[in-house]
Amino acid sequence: MSLPVVDVSSFDQAIQSNELTFVDFSAKWCPPCKVLHPLLEELQQEEGGRVSIAYVDCDESPELSSRFGVMSMPTVILFHNGEPVEKLIGLRPKEVYRTLLGRYTV
């Protein structure tokens, strides 16, 4: 399974498609991003009904990175009902992302 890639034209629809959406702002050349991507894919499989996860390539969509103040990669932003509510900068263990989901689900 691969995370769906979103760009300027598909971003707003992607963050509205589910109550909770993680957006991974990364780049293909970034070593920590390469570690994070499979962790997020596992999380998507394990938590599929609770969250959707999308990927923004910062090199291909710099306007999205700028819009959300992404200064380093990876940066993962959690959107709740289309609004950014949490921002995690840098590589974190999968359990950190799972715990974050728990704050916004019943």
**Positions marked active-site:** 30, 33
Q: Which residues contact 47 (CB under 8 A, 6 or more apart)?
A: 98, 101
CB 3 within 8 A of CB 54: yes
Considering only CA atoms, which of 76, 80, 75 is closest in space to residue 106? 80
